[in-house]
Structures are given as C-alpha cells and as structure tokens.
Amino acid sequence: MRKISSFGKEIAIGAAIVLFIFLLYVGFPPAFMVMGLLMFGALFLFARQRGGLAMGTAGKKAAARKPAYLTFEDIGGQDQPKRELTEALDFLVHRDKILKLGIRPLKGILLTGPPGTGKTLLAKAAAHHTHSAFIAASGSEFVEMYVGVGAGRIRDLFKEARQQAVKLKRDSAIVFIDEIDGIGGKRDGGQHREYDQTLNQLLTEMDGVQGDESVRVLLIAATNRKELLDPALLRPGRFDRQIQVDLPDKSGREHILRLHARNKPIDEGVSLGKVAEETFGFSGAQLESVMNEAAIYAMREQSEKVQTAHLTQAIDKVMMGERMDRETTREERERVAIHELGHAIVAEHVRPGSVAQVSLTPRGQALGYVRHHPQQDRYLYTQTVLEEQIMIALGGAVAEELNYGGRSTGSRGDFEQATSIVRTLIESGMSDLGIIHPQALTQEQWSRENEKILNELTGKTRELLGSKLETFRGLLDILVSEETLSGKQLREILLKQAA
C-alpha cells in the first residue's frame, strides 16, 4: 500500500491546527468547527477506501492472493495449450534471442474455454516457468458505480506487479485477470462511463508495456465468454495470443486422475483408464471432485483404500448430484424402472456395450438414471449417430406408453434433449430441408420438420421396444428389488432373450 510521507502528515496536521485557532479567534462557533472536522475526516477515510490515497481494492486482494507456484508438469490433460503457452512465454525467458531477431514482446495472452479446464492453473505455471512475480485478480473486483475507481484500481494493479517484481529481484511480472469479460465487454456507446474508463485504462496499461522497461509486465486473462469481449481488447498488440483450453480427451482425463490420485491410497484393482472412459465430457475440476468424493466414500465405509465401487459412486454424484432420500410408492418405482429400462434397451440395441449402469437411486432431480460410457471420445456426429441419440432419449416415454398406455412428467427432460438434437440435425443440413440458414426458416417450417423427424424416430423406437416386452418383465423384477442393474447383467439377459 502506498503511504503518505511523515513530512506530508506533519504539514496536514499543522495546517489543521492553525485553521482551528484562526477560526476560534474570529469567533467561529466551536461546535460547527468540530462537526466540520468530523465530516472532513469521514470524507478523508472514504477517499482512502475508494482508492484515492491508497492502492485499490483489486491491488490489495491481488497482493493477498499470491499463490504458491506450480509447474506445467503439475497440470494434466492440456498438452496443446501448454505447448502454445510455453512458446508464447519465450519472450520473457529468452530475451537475448528475442532482441536479436527484432521480435516485439507480447503484451497479453488470452485463455478461453469452458469452466474448470485449468486456465488459472496455466497462468500460475506460466509465472513459475518465466520466474516472474505473479498477481491475480478477478474482473468483478474492478466494477464500481463510482466513475474512475475501476480505472484507478487497474493502475494500482499493474504498479503493484512491478513493485512486487522489484521486491523479489525479478525482471518480469505476470498479472492474471480471471473472468475478464467483467471489465472487457463490448462498448455500446451508452452511459456506462465507469465500465468504459476501466476498459480504457486496461488498454492503456497494455499499450504501455514497452520492450525497454526494467520490469516487463505480461497480462494473462481468462474467460469462457470470448464473444462478449471488446474488439479493441482482442486485436494484435493487445492480446497477441489467444489459446483455447478445451475439455480434456481420454488420455488427458487419465493423466488428471493420476495426478489427483498421487496422495490417495488407491486399490490395486482400480483402473483409472476405465474411469477416464466413463467420464467423457468431464472437466479437470470435475475429475478432481471425482477423486475427492471417492476418498470420502472410502472414509465413510472405513475402507483403507479407494476402490472401484467408490469411484463409481463418485462419478454418479458429480454427474447427477447427491443421493436423495425420497420415499416413492411401489407403482412409482415400477414406472421409473420401466422408463429407465426403455432408455437402456434402446441404447444397447443401437450402441452395443454402451450402458454402464441402470439405477433407481434418486439423485438431484432424477428419480432414476442410466449411466452410459462411450466406447471412444467423439467430436463429430453423423446423421445416424444423432438419430440413435434421439431414439435413446425417446426410449423412456415409449416404454411407458407400451406398458402403461400413457406417459408421465418424467419424460420432460428427454423431450428437451430430443428436440435439441433435432435442431442440430436441421442446422447441420441433415434433414429433408437440406442446407439452409436457420434464420430463413419460419416457425411453422421448424415445427413441421421437428414433428416429422420425431414421429419417424418414435415409430422406430416403438417397434424396437414392442418386440422386447417379455424382456421388460424379467429386468423389472431385478431392478425394483436391487435398485441397480449393471450393464453386464443387462446384456446377459438381453442375450438370453434373443436366444
């Protein structure tokens, strides 16, 4: 924090005493003088808190949050972003080479991607890699209703970064701003002067990073809403590198799981590779939560090691939510079982071996669920794959119709998923409408094509499940009595029925 010099304090106190004596001499009422001094003191303290005479709140919070350094080796599942970031940081590590080749130093690196993928960890590792001072802040810390306060905090943040580097005897500093869309949003020419001034000050600080400064300051920012950022912030010369930090693939997930398993006693029979298969679409934060929850389940059961069953329960909890103690009637349980078996049987028919478990355990808002594990990570989807996914979503409602003659409210989420996939089909040019811009379609055309696709796939699903009515009876008894049905059990019974 910046301090007012003792000499300045003495002058201020002396001036106040002289003013008090003078007003008393000319007959000014003492009560009014005391009130005036109190009001002046209150305004003085308010100005200090708002950044007028001291470092802004952002700088103070940033200084209080200097995290322990970690290396790129401590971050799993992000090999490509780590390579890109390492190359971008060369201007801080290899200054001589940069000057020899006449390369302009980078001023900013933007990390974009879904939440929980490790953007903050990458920024911390970058500080260690470059042997730089590191200060972190959040975009929300600079947003104030008072004009000019946010801009002052930006100045204080960069100044504190340079001071910290000098204090640590380092020639570079990294300023990390998380959720930068809080201050870097597009300017609309409205009356949001505080937002505009804060962003303008950030742009000024980035432009002020010159190659001949004794301490080079690099800004690393993170956001999961890049499309909201102002174009002036994204242009070359500001954020010179934009690195996408995506969800990890299978090998990346296994790497992350192994990193978080280092301090946990894992049973020899546990296959983290299989856990990685069953956690498709999980972020690094979710995988860390899986390992942590598995250890908690082990502790509850007083087990000395984390076993496969604990990891399975942890995956269900992270994916679906905590187990709920809901009392349901026998009729309700049977209907939920029929519904979930409908999903599972269709899934096994169109994608053999894809069902991991069918459960009647209430979790979150779901009274039951089917957990799938993909055979391999998939990033491109054909028309056949999307239509199969729609049939799986419709399987629950169709199973209820065949067994009870009607549907229940439990199909609402399934229908939302099915209509969302239909929209993907249409927008990808896979419907009978052909290749067409979505905005060129009227609401009537959307509804007609949506109805056509769903009716066709509902008919296929009904035909498939109609031939498996006897199978429902055998599976229903097992699921209702045991509450869970493994994918292996399901496949064995389906195989017997087919024979």
User: Percent helix, strand and coil across the chain, each rounded to 5?
Assistant: 60, 10, 30
Q: Which one-letter DSSP state was computed for residue 266?
A: B
The Cα–Cα gap between 63 and 46 comes to 21
The Cα–Cα gap between 315 and 373 comes to 11
62 or 403, which is more confident? 403
Of the candidates 371, 378, 339, 336, which has an alpha carbon nearest to the alpha carbon of residue 354?
371
pLDDT of residue 382 exceeding 50, the answer is: yes
pLDDT for the residue 376: 64
366 or 224, which is more confident? 224
Of the candidates 372, 316, 358, 371, which has an alpha carbon nearest to the alpha carbon of residue 479?
358
| Neighbouring residues of 292: CB distance < 8 A, sequence distance ≥ 6 | 260, 314
Window from 67-76, 168-177, 490-499 with minimum mean pLDDT: 67-76
The pairs formed by 262-267 with CB atoms below 8 angstroms and a separation of 24 or more are 264/291, 264/294, 264/295, 264/306, 265/304, 265/305, 265/306, 266/305, 266/306, 267/305, 267/306, 267/307, 267/308
Q: Residues 457-471: pLDDT tens digits?
A: 999 999 999 888 888
pLDDT of residue 35 exceeding 80, the answer is: no
Window from 106-110, 132-136, 365-369 with minimum mean pLDDT: 365-369
pLDDT of residue 106 exceeding 60, the answer is: yes
**301: Cα separation from own chain's centroid:** 31
Q: Residues 177-191: pLDDT tens digits?
A: 888 888 887 776 555
pLDDT of residue 57 exceeding 50, the answer is: no
- The pLDDT-based confidence of 6 (bands split at 50, 70, 90) is very low
pLDDT of residue 281 exceeding 60, the answer is: yes
pTM for this model (two decimals):
0.68
Highest mean pLDDT, choosing among 42-46, 81-85, 361-365:
81-85
Give percent above pLDDT 90 in the chain.
25
DSSP β-ladder status, 172-178 and 108-112: unpaired
Which residues belong to the active site? 340
Q: Residues 297-330: pLDDT tens digits?
A: 999 999 999 999 999 889 988 887 777 766 677 7
Which residue is it, tokens 């599942």? 77
**166: Cα separation from own chain's centroid:** 34
Average pLDDT of the chain to the nearest whole number? 81
Highest mean pLDDT, choosing among 46-60, 220-234, 255-269:
255-269
pLDDT for the residue 40: 61
| Neighbouring residues of 186: CB distance < 8 A, sequence distance ≥ 6 | 228, 229, 230, 231
